Structure 1
Amino acid sequence: MAEQSPSKKLRNQVKGFLCEVSPIKDIKKPYFDAILQHEGEVSKVVAFRPEDHIHFQNAETTRSQVTLDDVVLQPYVESSRKRNVFYTHSSKMSCVHERGETSKNSLSATPQCVQLSELQNLDTKSKKVNINAKIIQEVRKGNSVVWDGRYLPRTEYTVADTTGYISLTVWCEHNITVGEWYNITNVSVGNFKGKISLSTTKNTQILNIASQGTAVAVQVPTETIKCDIIGVNIKNIFICPRSHTLKDVTPSSPTVYCVSCNTHYKPPAIIMRISGHLGLKPEMGNVVEASIEDEVIRSVLTVKPGASREDIIQSFIALPPMQITIRENIVVKMEDVPQKAEIRSEAELPVKVEPVEESIDFYSPPDHGILFSSQDRKRKSTD
């Protein structure tokens, strides 16, 4: 039996909060998409009513709960726990802030900045906030796969204001300087294992501002130790030119196919990223487990384009003991162990005898020991 079109499937109603509303796409058959957070789920909304685009954007800006009526639901392709929501031409959207005059005014209002101490007691479900904060420290830098399969740069910072501090994950590249204050808008509030954190979205704007006062003093613990690498577990991730993750990549194949792009690429256009975990044995103490990402790996290993996972593991195992800096169980720096200067006794120091030219008058400085030069210094006669 042929698959029914979305317009003929069972109609449903969903409620939740919209985020990541895209621009209108495809001029001939316009549509846009968004993310709906509802009932403990995260669904992708595909909307075919471009005239409602402004209402979706307003609901996202004001963080208003919306009700989508007469939508079509179907299981998400990549996970049975996710669903696609089709907002068709017969669907309707209602927003709690659209009821009454006070809510109409709130649609154009700019959300106020919240203090970081307030976030600890905030209901994090489907929340976005604006903050003014000082960048205290860069905790880690790397890449991660996001919900749509793209592999994007990610930097985690510790930020603080005058009331508290929090972890902020910044996606994609931004011109951020540690020690500066920033106004950061439309950041998502999350709660993982009881720990509140912030994360930027595609609508986040980061603007450098003047100091807002004395920020709370905070420092992420960092430890630098000499370790022997006794265990390695890494994985290779292959990325297409449009940052989509690829599966079943064969280096010898003439082309590499990306499902998301529906495009075949030449193998040299594919980027390989490496990440994993290391087992580290300090000179004293127990074995330490720490994660490591591509940027740090390539600082100590020369990875050839066709290198296999086994090749990289063997290169790690072959490394001598290294001086490794760890922050929150993440390797942030690896370097050779500094060589200690060897101090030898005076009896072991080589004695260098240089010939002295014959002269009527000469000056020989007093011997101050091995830390000073004992070479003769000549003085010409003034006669």
Structure 2
Amino acid sequence: MDRSPAKRRQTVQGYLCNVSPLKDSKKPYFEASFQHGGECSNVVVFRPEEHMHFKDAEKTRGQVKLCNVVISPVKTKGTSKVYYTHKSSMSCVRDLGRAFQNSLPAEAHDIKLSELLQLDLKPMRANINVKIILEESKGNNIVRDGSLPKTVYTVADTTGYISLTVWCIKNITVGEWYKFTNVSVTQFNGKTTLSTTKQTNVLNIPSQSTAVDVEVSIESMKSDIIGVKLKIQFICPGKHELKDLILSSPSVYCVPCKTHYKTTAIIMKISGRLDLKPETGDNINARVEDEVIRSVVAVKPDTSQNDIIQAFMALPTMKMTICNKVIVKMEESTSQNTSSPGKESQTSPAVMDAENVSIDFSPSDIGLYSSQSKKRKSTD
């Protein structure tokens, strides 16, 4: 329902200034000054997801067209008020150039994390200045555009901290400050989260003072694996997920690519969840991604899902590093490394020595019939 007077809708052209921060945590909105038709009106915008579009138009000083807005005269001031509702839209007309009147200077505003965390948000865009505190997880995810590299970070500014999912952007260093523009702000399971978009730009910036203390849930424990739930996905060179792949076939057809590919060119991605029984405390269920799985289990061309599950079940007690319920590292517990004299290790042939494996956490770009490169110490 539109929260505006019942007036006739109109289309107006002009220039935006003084775009305010978001207001009202329960029903967020923002305001701006709008130069049009020889006057300056106050615009009230009830679509918080367009806040960054208005900020960009203010920054570029471009002429914009506001369509389907409600204009209400303000009798006491001889001006008007423009209501931008959920039926309204904005588009850029042309570059403003020298026509801009600098009598209403734009006010720079960076959205603080504490402000985002307090708002009852609908999906929107934001600009943030944050310090990279921790790399939570890294891998590839299947999305609408195919299989894309994804890294989840804990980030913080001087007011709060939050999780940020970064897609396809490399060269981000833990401990450095960055300005992220046009990140998506959403809520998932009642928790505010951030994610980069196709329009996101990242700029390394000087330190913005001291970031808040971050309470990140990182656990290191020795655990037995008592349950395994896995999912295997096959991805074509065009980064599309393939269904009903027959491994014995020499080729496979990808419908989105409209191309036949050699089966050997297909990528196998493994993910899942493990039920863990720690030495002390309650059982834990944690997510595990492809890179960590391949660090402890050898995946061969003919390895089936059941083979991988049985290989996990055959693992000895493992030392787990868990961040926010995601396993970021697995290695064999040192207490399990000593075997009885004269006896060979009873480890399953599909299991690799985790302490002697060099793990590459970059996205896999190799074919199905070549598992990720791993180095093992030679035995005398």
Normalised by the shorter chain, which TM-score bucket? Answer: 0.5 to 0.7
Matched, 1:223 2:223: no
Q: Which amino acid aligns with 2:294?
A: R
Matched, 1:252 2:248: yes
Report the Cα offset of residue 277 of structure 1: 0.8
Matches of 1:243 and 1:200 in 2, distance apart? 19
Q: Show the counterpart of 1:133.
A: 130
Return the structure number with greater relative CO, CA threshold 8 A, min gap 6.
Answer: 2
Q: Which amino acid aligns with 2:259?
A: T
Report the Cα offset of residue 142 of structure 1: 2.1
Report the Cα offset of residue 281 of structure 1: 1.2
Report the Cα offset of residue 149 of structure 1: 5.0
CA RMSD, aligned part only? 3.3
Q: Which amino acid aligns with 2:117?
A: Q
Give the alignment of 1:279-298 within 5 angstroms. Answer: 279-298=275-294
Q: Deviations over 1:140-168 (max 9, x none)?
A: 1122222x251211111111111111110
Q: Show the counterpart of 1:162.
A: 158
The alignment partner of 2:110 has SS state of: coil
Query: Bigger shift: 317-326 or 332-341?
Result: 332-341
Matches of 1:241 and 1:60 in 2, distance apart? 39
Give the direction of change, closer, same or farther, for the CA distance of 1:289–1:341 in structure 2 (3 Å limit): closer
Q: Deviations over 1:295-347 (max 9, x none)?
A: 110111111133111111111111111111111211111001124999xxxxx
Give the direction of change, closer, same or farther, for the CA distance of 1:281–1:341 in structure 2 (3 Å limit): closer
Give the alignment of 1:333-352 within 5 angstroms. Answer: 333-339=329-335
Give the direction of change, closer, same or farther, for the CA distance of 1:188–1:237 in structure 2 (3 Å limit): same
Q: Show the counterpart of 2:273.
A: 277
Q: Show the counterpart of 1:124.
A: 121
TM-score (normalised: structure 1):
0.61
Q: Work out whether residues 321 and 337 of structure 1, in 8 Å CA contact, stay in contact via their aligned partners in 2.
A: yes
Matched, 1:182 2:174: no
Give the direction of change, closer, same or farther, for the CA distance of 1:196–1:67 in structure 2 (3 Å limit): farther
Q: Work out whether residues 129 and 178 of structure 2, in 8 Å CA contact, stay in contact via their aligned partners in 1.
A: yes
Give the direction of change, closer, same or farther, for the CA distance of 1:271–1:105 in structure 2 (3 Å limit): farther
Matches of 2:270 and 2:109 in 1, distance apart? 40
Q: Show the counterpart of 2:373.
A: none
Give the direction of change, closer, same or farther, for the CA distance of 1:314–1:211 in structure 2 (3 Å limit): same
Give the direction of change, closer, same or farther, for the CA distance of 1:259–1:209 in structure 2 (3 Å limit): same
Q: Show the counterpart of 1:143.
A: 140
Report the Cα offset of residue 62 of structure 1: 5.0
Give the direction of change, closer, same or farther, for the CA distance of 1:119–1:58 in structure 2 (3 Å limit): closer
Q: Show the counterpart of 1:239.
A: 235
Give the direction of change, closer, same or farther, for the CA distance of 1:339–1:110 in structure 2 (3 Å limit): farther
Give the direction of change, closer, same or farther, for the CA distance of 1:105–1:232 in structure 2 (3 Å limit): farther
Report the Cα offset of residue 187 of structure 1: 0.3
Match of 1:197 among 193, 202, 209: 193
Matches of 2:100 and 2:242 in 1, distance apart? 46
Determine which structure has more spread, i.e. the larger CA radius of gyration. 1
- Structure 2: segments with no counterpart, 5+ residues: 1-51, 59-63, 69-86, 339-380
Give the direction of change, closer, same or farther, for the CA distance of 1:308–1:110 in structure 2 (3 Å limit): farther
Identity of aligned residues (%): 55
Give the alignment of 1:27-106 within 5 angstroms. Answer: 61=56, 95-96=89-90
Query: Bigger shift: 314-323 or 301-310?
Result: 301-310
Give the direction of change, closer, same or farther, for the CA distance of 1:318–1:183 in structure 2 (3 Å limit): same
Matches of 2:247 and 2:153 in 1, distance apart? 36
Matches of 1:67 and 1:310 in 2, distance apart? 58
Q: Work out whether residues 59 and 66 of structure 1, in 8 Å CA contact, stay in contact via their aligned partners in 2.
A: no
Matched, 1:319 2:315: yes
Matched, 1:306 2:302: yes
The alignment partner of 2:334 has SS state of: coil
Report the Cα offset of residue 58 of structure 1: 6.8
Q: Work out whether residues 131 and 176 of structure 2, in 8 Å CA contact, stay in contact via their aligned partners in 1.
A: yes
TM-score (normalised: structure 2):
0.61
The alignment partner of 2:200 has SS state of: strand
Give the direction of change, closer, same or farther, for the CA distance of 1:113–1:304 in structure 2 (3 Å limit): same
Q: Which amino acid aligns with 1:178?
A: V
- Structure 1: segments with no counterpart, 5+ residues: 1-56, 69-92, 343-383
Q: Deviations over 1:88-133 (max 9, x none)?
A: xxxxx9734779x99x979xx8974211111123453341111111
Matches of 2:300 and 2:259 in 1, distance apart? 25
Matches of 1:244 and 1:271 in 2, distance apart? 10
Give the direction of change, closer, same or farther, for the CA distance of 1:66–1:191 in structure 2 (3 Å limit): farther
